[in-house]
């Protein structure tokens, strides 16, 4: 029976070596992910202080311009200045300036707050989908105002001055066009009398694009149209989130239960307590410490070859930087926790060694 108990205890010890770091990590992840105030603050920092929004806008504009050329929409010089093609000239720095003009921090902060609050309130509500509606009126008003003009000026300045051939091409098309017909400017700077009219046309084109956006974008209504597909839908996602949150909160109980099982199967003295508790606790804490030291390189590698592998490189870099901000919130306290666990394990080992009975005492007890 003693041998069987030791075998069972050894198996429990092996499980504990993995369960201890995993359970602490799960608890820390849950403490961050399900902390509404913390997540709102981190996401607000990401959208207002990083270039994530800027590079996403740049990627979208270039992708849309390529799609228009691929579909033959941008060849015939029809209807309006092609604002989407024009935006493809702008780099990340200029996109950041544009974003500040038409999407200032106060708008992004409001939208982030609404999205985060709506999502967390949905998790604990009976609603099928989150209640998330963004007011876009302020954004549209800024596009109509001098801020929109300023944004167009940034784009205009990003283009090269027109060559003689481009100017000649425009004047030829202008002369051949029937009266009252709009003629697109070449995508270059007309530094003569046409320049102000060119920028005005671009601004009007931008306004037309923005006018297609509703004054209130109800993300909840878009989500409400989503029907459950093969068992995956809003209700299922909510149930899974609730289950994950509960498991993460209860995760620290797993190593506690395993330690109590070790106590029952193998520990009969303080010396054995030092071995059966101290060694797995110290080693589990050491694994946590290593993880807290290498997490950045590990996560970047995993994200690059995994979930973000199909994301354009420029957007991927900013997305990884944003995710690292959240990861730091998890792993910074984990480092101190791991050190505490290692020290606790060492204390148990040392205490077990100190109280170990001397050979003479053991022999006397046996006799």
Q: 51, 316 in Cβ contact below 8 A?
A: no
Rounded-to-integer distance, Cα 232 and Cα 228, Å = 5
Return the structure tokens found at 194: 């046409």
The verdict on 189 and 264 lying in the same domain is no
The verdict on 60 and 194 lying in the same domain is yes
Top pLDDT among 309 and 107 is at 107
Q: For residue 281, is it within any domain? A: yes
DSSP 133: E
Question: Span 290-297, mean pLDDT?
Answer: 89
The verdict on 28 and 61 lying in the same domain is no
Kindly report each contact of residues 75-80 with a partner whose C-beta sits within 8 Å and lies 24 or more positions away, as own/partner: 77/173, 77/183, 77/184, 78/184, 79/182, 80/182, 80/184, 80/201, 80/205, 80/208
Q: pLDDT at position 117, please? A: 94
Residues with Cβ within 8 Å of residue 23, at least 6 apart in sequence: 251, 252, 253, 254, 255
Lowest-confidence region among 75-79, 234-238, 273-277 = 75-79
Backbone angles phi, psi at 189, to 5 degrees: -80, 120
Rounded-to-integer distance, Cα 262 and Cα 256, Å = 10
Whether residue 181 has pLDDT greater than 90: no
CA dihedral 176, 180, 181, 182 (to 10 degrees): 110
Rounded-to-integer distance, Cα 49 and Cα 41, Å = 12
Question: Span 160-179, mean pLDDT?
Answer: 87
Q: For residue 239, is it within any domain? A: no
End of a domain among 191, 224, 257? 224
Q: pLDDT at position 131, please? A: 86
Q: For residue 237, is it within any domain? A: no
Q: For residue 26, is it within any domain? A: yes
End of a domain among 224, 258, 285? 224
The verdict on 82 and 188 lying in the same domain is yes
CA 304 and chain centroid, separation: 13
**pLDDT digit string (tens) for 49-76?**
888 888 877 777 666 666 655 554 444 4
End of a domain among 173, 207, 224? 224
Q: 199, 135 in Cβ contact below 8 A?
A: no
Q: For residue 10, is it within any domain? A: yes
Identify which of 246, 174, 231 has the alpha carbon closest to the alpha carbon of residue 27: 246
The verdict on 183 and 312 lying in the same domain is no
Q: pLDDT at position 37, please? A: 93
The verdict on 339 and 289 lying in the same domain is yes
- Percentage of the chain beyond pLDDT 90 is 32
Question: Span 245-268, mean pLDDT?
Answer: 91
Q: How many CB atoms lie within 10 A of CB 90?
A: 23
Whether residue 257 has pLDDT greater than 70: yes
Q: 264, 8 in Cβ contact below 8 A?
A: no
DSSP 18: H
The verdict on 205 and 294 lying in the same domain is no
Using the structure block, give the residue that is written with the tokens 């939208």.
111
Q: How many CB atoms lie within 10 A of CB 251?
A: 19
Q: For residue 43, is it within any domain? A: no
Whether residue 258 has pLDDT greater than 70: yes
The verdict on 279 and 139 lying in the same domain is no
pLDDT band at 34 (very low <50, low <70, confident <90, very high): very high
Give the residue numbers spanning the domain of 267. 2-33+249-366
Q: What is the mean pLDDT of the chain?
A: 82
The verdict on 211 and 133 lying in the same domain is yes
Whether residue 363 has pLDDT greater than 60: no
**pLDDT digit string (tens) for 110-166?**
999 999 999 999 999 888 888 888 899 999 999 999 999 999 999 888 888 988 888
Q: For residue 48, is it within any domain? A: no
Quote the number of domains for the chain: 2
Rounded-to-integer distance, Cα 115 and Cα 131, Å = 8
CA triplet 261, 262, 266: central angle to 5 degrees?
125
The verdict on 219 and 94 lying in the same domain is yes
H or E stretch including 216? strand 216-218
Lowest-confidence region among 23-32, 260-269, 331-340 = 260-269
Whether residue 256 has pLDDT greater than 90: yes
The verdict on 306 and 256 lying in the same domain is yes
Top pLDDT among 70 and 185 is at 185
- Identify which of 171-175, 287-291, 306-310 has the greatest average pLDDT: 287-291
Identify which of 49, 54, 51 has the alpha carbon closest to the alpha carbon of residue 109: 49
Q: For residue 58, is it within any domain? A: yes
- Percentage of the chain beyond pLDDT 70 is 84
H or E stretch including 218? strand 216-218
Q: pLDDT at position 95, please? A: 86
Using the structure block, give the residue that is written with the tokens 């108990």.
5
The verdict on 200 and 302 lying in the same domain is no
């Amino acid at each position: 029976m003693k041998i069987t108990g030791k075998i069972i205890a050894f198996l429990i010890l092996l499980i504990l070596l993995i369960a201890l770091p995993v359970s602490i990590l799960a608890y820390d992840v849950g403490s961050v992910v399900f902390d509404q105030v913390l997540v709102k603050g981190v996401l607000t920092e990401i959208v207002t202080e990083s270039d994530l929004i800027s590079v996403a806008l740049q990627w979208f504009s270039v992708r849309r311009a390529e799609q228009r050329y691929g579909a033959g929409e941008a060849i015939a010089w029809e209807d309006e200045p092609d604002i989407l093609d024009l935006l493809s000239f702008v780099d990340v720095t200029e996109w950041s300036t544009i974003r500040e003009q038409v999407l200032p921090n106060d708008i992004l902060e409001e939208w982030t707050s609404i999205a985060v609050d709506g999502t967390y309130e949905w998790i604990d509500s009976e609603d099928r989908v989150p209640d998330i509606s963004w007011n876009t009126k302020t954004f549209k008003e800024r596009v109509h105002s001098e801020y929109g003009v300023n944004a167009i000026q940034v784009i205009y300045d990003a283009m090269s001055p027109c060559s003689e051939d481009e100017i000649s091409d425009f004047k030829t098309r202008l002369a051949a066009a029937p009266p009252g017909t709009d003629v697109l400017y070449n995508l270059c700077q007309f530094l003569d009398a046409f320049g102000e009219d060119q920028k005005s046309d671009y601004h009007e084109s931008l306004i037309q694009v923005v006018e297609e956006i509703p004054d209130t974008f109800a993300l909840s209504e878009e989500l409400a149209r989503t029907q459950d597909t093969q068992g995956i839908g809003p209700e299922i996602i909510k149930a899974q989130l609730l289950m994950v949150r509960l498991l993460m909160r209860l995760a620290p109980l797993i190593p506690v239960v395993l330690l109590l099982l070790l106590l029952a199967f193998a520990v009969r003295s303080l010396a054995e307590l030092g071995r059966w508790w101290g060694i797995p606790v110290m080693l589990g804490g050491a694994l946590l410490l290593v993880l807290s030291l290498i997490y950045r390189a590990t996560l970047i590698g995993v994200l690059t070859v995994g979930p973000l592998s199909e994301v354009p490189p420029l957007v991927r870099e900013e997305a990884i930087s944003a995710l690292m901000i959240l990861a730091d919130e998890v792993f910074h306290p984990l480092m101190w926790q791991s050190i505490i666990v290692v020290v606790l394990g060492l204390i148990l080992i040392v205490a077990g060694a100190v109280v170990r009975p001397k050979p003479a005492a053991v022999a006397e007890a046996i006799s």
